[in-house]
């Protein structure tokens, strides 16, 4: 799925099926058919076309939104083997856990908001008429240890921009995982027509600011006293990179 593609469907039933799956993140195919009350042969036909067109994919009889974001890549650094790949619905719990662990350091407010959203919606990937959202994950022994997330509004005036968050569990920092995640996310954004990616961090998060500056991000603005962390007012540093 290319996020910039307009959500156009040649048949109303296909839109109905797609929107049903997209809202739920992943659904059992037969449960979806029964709830939508679509005749079995017709349902299978429309699902086949949605899969053909790269809208949906099926894993073990479970339907979910398809995303064309490349393949899994393997890295070894300092005897640590890790993989980076496009996230799927089954990664939701691991991603929420990783984000909350990083957010507990009180240095990444925007990421904490992302965790709240996907946990509440119980849907990892979004692509509808209002927004697009995807993740890549870093895994060690199939466990999520880091993420990069991109979110873009489906509005003409903002369609060239995307918001990004990226993080790695503290125990796995220092191996280049964050850099590989950031690179993977920005490569995807550039190849899908985005011109600028941005994110905001508290001014107290010197590590994140330094990390982004080392990867050619620049500070666009500072909002004074935007956050209140443990009783103290903290500036918001708004950073961005041109692709």
19-57 CB burial, b ≥16 within 10 A, e <16:
ebbbebbbbebeebbeeeebeeeebeebbebbeebebbb
pLDDT of residue 142: 95
pLDDT of residue 157: 46
Whether residue 204 is found in the same domain as residue 123: yes
pLDDT of residue 154: 63
Whether residue 157 is found in the same domain as residue 228: yes
CATH number at residue 103: 3.40.630.30
pLDDT of residue 46: 96
Ordered per-residue pLDDT tens for the chain, 243 residues: 344 445 688 899 999 999 999 999 889 999 999 999 999 999 999 999 999 999 999 988 899 988 888 899 999 998 999 999 999 999 999 999 999 999 887 677 788 889 999 999 999 998 888 888 999 999 999 999 999 999 987 644 446 889 999 999 999 999 999 999 999 999 999 988 899 999 998 998 898 999 999 999 999 999 999 988 888 899 999 999 999
pLDDT of residue 235: 93
Whether residue 233 is found in the same domain as residue 162: yes
Whether residue 118 is found in the same domain as residue 233: yes
Domain limit, last residue, from 65, 89, 105: 65
Whether residue 30 is found in the same domain as residue 119: no
Q: Is 150 among the domain residues?
A: yes
pLDDT of residue 111: 83
Q: What's the total number of domains in the chain?
A: 2
Q: What Å distances lie between residue 180 and 52, 122, 144, 173, 238, CA to CA?
A: 31, 27, 14, 12, 22
Contact partners, residue 148, CB within 8 Å, separation at least 6: 135, 136, 164, 165, 166, 181, 182, 184, 185
pLDDT of residue 6: 55
Whether residue 47 is found in the same domain as residue 100: no
Instruction: Pull the structure tokens for residue 155.
Output: 């509005």
Contact 4, 193 (CB under 8 A): yes
Residue 81, classed as helix, strand or coil, is: strand
| Side-chain-side CA neighbours of residue 73 (13 Å) | 13
Q: Which domain holds residue 180?
A: 73-242
pLDDT of residue 229: 81
pLDDT of residue 167: 94
Whether residue 171 is found in the same domain as residue 136: yes
pTM: 0.86
Whether residue 32 is found in the same domain as residue 131: no
Whether residue 53 is found in the same domain as residue 145: no
Q: Is 189 among the domain residues?
A: yes
Whether residue 196 is found in the same domain as residue 102: yes
Whether residue 88 is found in the same domain as residue 158: yes
């Amino acid at each position: 799925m290319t996020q910039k593609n307009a959500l156009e469907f040649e048949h109303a039933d296909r839109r109905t099926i797609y929107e049903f799956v997209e809202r739920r993140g992943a659904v059992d195919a037969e449960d979806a058919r029964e709830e939508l009350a679509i005749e079995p042969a017709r349902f299978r036909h429309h699902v086949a076309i949605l899969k053909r067109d790269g809208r949906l994919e099926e894993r073990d009889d479970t339907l979910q939104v398809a995303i064309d974001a490349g393949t899994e890549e393997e890295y070894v650094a300092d005897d640590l083997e890790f993989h980076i790949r496009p996230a799927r619905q089954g990664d939701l719990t691991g991603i929420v856990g990783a984000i909350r662990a990083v957010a507990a350091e009180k240095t990444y407010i925007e990421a904490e908001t992302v965790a709240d959203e996907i946990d509440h919606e119980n849907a990892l990937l979004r692509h509808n008429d209002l927004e697009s959202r995807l993740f890549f994950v870093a895994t060690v022994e199939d466990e999520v240890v880091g993420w990069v997330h991109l979110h873009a509004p489906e509005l003409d005036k903002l369609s060239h921009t995307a918001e990004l968050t990226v993080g790695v569990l503290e125990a796995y920092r220092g191996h280049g995982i964050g850099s590989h995640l950031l690179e993977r996310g920005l490569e995807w954004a550039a190849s899908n027509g985005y011109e600028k990616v941005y994110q905001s961090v508290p001014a107290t998060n010197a590590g994140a600011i330094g990390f982004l500056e080392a990867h050619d991000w620049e500070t666009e603005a500072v909002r004074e006293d935007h956050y209140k962390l443990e009783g103290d007012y903290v500036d918001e540093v708004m950073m961005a990179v041109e692709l």
